[in-house]
Copies of this chain bind each other. A is one copy, B any other.
Amino acid sequence: MVVTGEKNTKHQVVIVGGGFGGLYTAKYLANANVNVTLIDKRNFHLFQPLLYQVATGTLSPGDISSPLRAVFSKSKNTQVLLGEVSDIDPKAQKVMMGNQVIPYDTLIVATGANHSYFGKEHWKDLAPGLKTVEDAIEMRRRIFGAFEAAEKETDPEKRSAWLTFVIVGGGPTGVELAGAIAELAYKTLKEDFRSIDTSETKILLLQGGDRILPHISPDLSEEATASLRKLGVVINTKTRVTDIENDIVTFKQNGEVSSIHSKTILWAAGVKGSTMGKILAERTDVELDHAGRVVVEPDLTVRDYKNIFVIGDLANFSHQDGKPLPGVAPVAKQQGEYVAKLIRRRWRGSTLPQFHYNDVGSLAMIGQNLAVVDLGFLQLTGFPAWVFWLIIHIYFLIEFDTKLLVVFQWAWNYITRNRRSRLITGREAFTEPQTPVNKSSRLLDA
């Protein structure tokens, strides 16, 4: 059913997912003459680009989370629902949350992507990824727990395994994690231990492709490589992990197989569309790409369903230069804006030309005073890039929340009655089997 401007029953827009895509769609529909239902499993929007800073102890989860209800408190046409969509019926125009049925006129699916372990799903517990607050807290626990375990370990080989960090994946997350751990080990924690010398820490960054940060220009990628190496990170490109078993990572570089003992293996590789993609494919026959992402039409709709949109990391949009757009926040944000605008246009009986991504450039933080920024027309490195990175992130953060300005955060909380940390983090997320840091806590009794 295509959207029309009916007078009596308001047009129902259902958005599944409160990441950048879903959040911006809802924001741009905030005062439109439609009813919006925003469904998310969590009660907060997470500013994922800074999640690595939670994993490495710089920020608290509350600092990069915005309660969805607070964001839409004043948008009286918007209802936030906490829950997980279990099915879609595109013919009857309904989404199901268990027994609860929610009808829609227009559906936006923005449930994002997870890490792919390339078919080795059991690696997940040995090498956790970084997508949720719980992931970040688990990584933080492993990273800081490793230094604690090393401090107590007397066997030099085991101690060295505790002080060895392997990061799989050389995209922005992998690079930022490697840089942050290097700063931790070689700077922040230097004075904090009595038995170990944290400067003996080994940090290994494994990248499948022939250079790190493949999305930025080769020059900047080289610059980032040099900066990371100067910080003390060992970078192996053209390297594929072939096995992870307990504390041993085995990898292949140029046909040569090596392995390294490490108690802390962190995963920052691979993309796998969330399960909503599979549900959509089953119900609408839409094509999924090899990573399980939904291949969308030029206007971000699902083929044959003009009232179902897929945006953000779950969408494979290849109508610009033949390659899918990268899974980054600006793409999701622009797609959310586009869909909201298109819905408003349709309501007026009009339409929009196809979606076009306006490339805002790429950037990655490496460390204190070190970053790379590629805006196409302008490339920055070192301190200027670092300042630029800070300003950009603060700018995006304050766009819908003053969170990270944090000027007199506490007083402010009182005065405005804002509750900035009201995330509901799940106990269910903590049911994985015993893994490195648990070993460390078991060490206490051993």
Please state if B58 and A60 are interface contacts (CB–CB under 8 Å).
no
CA distance A430 to B431 in the complex (A): 8
Which of these binds chain B: A141-149, A302-310, A373-381?
A141-149
Please state if B424 and A141 are interface contacts (CB–CB under 8 Å).
yes
Which chain B residues lie closer than 8 Å to A141 at the CB level? 424-427
Within 8 A of B (CB), among A394-446: 394, 404-411, 413-414, 417-428, 430-432, 437-438, 441, 443-446
CA distance A67 to B368 in the complex (A): 21
Report the interface size class on chain A: 35 or more
Please state if A422 and B140 are interface contacts (CB–CB under 8 Å).
yes
Please state if B411 and A390 are interface contacts (CB–CB under 8 Å).
yes
Q: Which of A97, A417, A428 has the most CB of B within 10 A?
A: A417
CA distance A407 to B411 in the complex (A): 10
Which of these binds chain B: A78-86, A165-173, A256-264, A351-359?
A78-86
How far in angstroms is the closest Cβ of chain B from A415? Answer: 8
Who on chain B is nearest to A419 by CB? Answer: B57
Q: Which of A80, A82, A141, A446 has the most CB of B within 10 A?
A: A82
Q: Which of A84, A417, A419 has the most CB of B within 10 A?
A: A419
CA distance A188 to B427 in the complex (A): 25
Q: Mark A32-72, 1 if CB is under 8 A from B, else 0.
A: 00000000000100000000001011111111000101100
Please state if B192 and A421 are interface contacts (CB–CB under 8 Å).
no
Please state if B427 and A83 are interface contacts (CB–CB under 8 Å).
no
Task: Specify which of B183, B188, B422 is in contact with A57 (CB 8 Å cutoff).
Answer: B422
A363 CB within 8 Å of chain B: no
Who on chain B is nearest to A183 by CB? Answer: B417
Task: Specify which of B62, B148, B424 is in contact with A424 (CB 8 Å cutoff).
Answer: B148
Please state if A419 and B83 are interface contacts (CB–CB under 8 Å).
no
A193 CB within 8 Å of chain B: yes
Which chain B residues lie closer than 8 Å to A418 at the CB level? 188
A290 CB within 8 Å of chain B: no
A191 CB within 8 Å of chain B: yes
Which chain B residues lie closer than 8 Å to A420 at the CB level? 57-58, 60
Please state if B417 and A188 are interface contacts (CB–CB under 8 Å).
yes
How far in angstroms is the closest Cβ of chain B from A275? Answer: 14
For this complex, 23 residue pairs linking A to B, each with C-beta atoms less than 8 Å apart, are A43-B148, A57-B421, A59-B413, A59-B421, A60-B421, A69-B189, A69-B192, A69-B193, A81-B151, A82-B444, A86-B445, A98-B446, A99-B446, A100-B152, A148-B424, A187-B417, A390-B414, A394-B410, A406-B410, A407-B407, A427-B430, A428-B438, A430-B430
Interface residues of A (CB under 8 A from B): 43, 54, 56-63, 67, 69-70, 73-74, 79-84, 86, 97-100, 137-138, 140-141, 144-145, 148, 151-152, 183-184, 187-189, 191-195, 368, 390, 394, 404-411, 413-414, 417-428, 430-432, 437-438, 441, 443-446
Q: Give 8 closest A-B pairs by Cβ, nearest first.
A: A57-B422, A60-B60, A60-B62, A69-B192, A57-B419, A430-B430, A98-B445, A406-B409
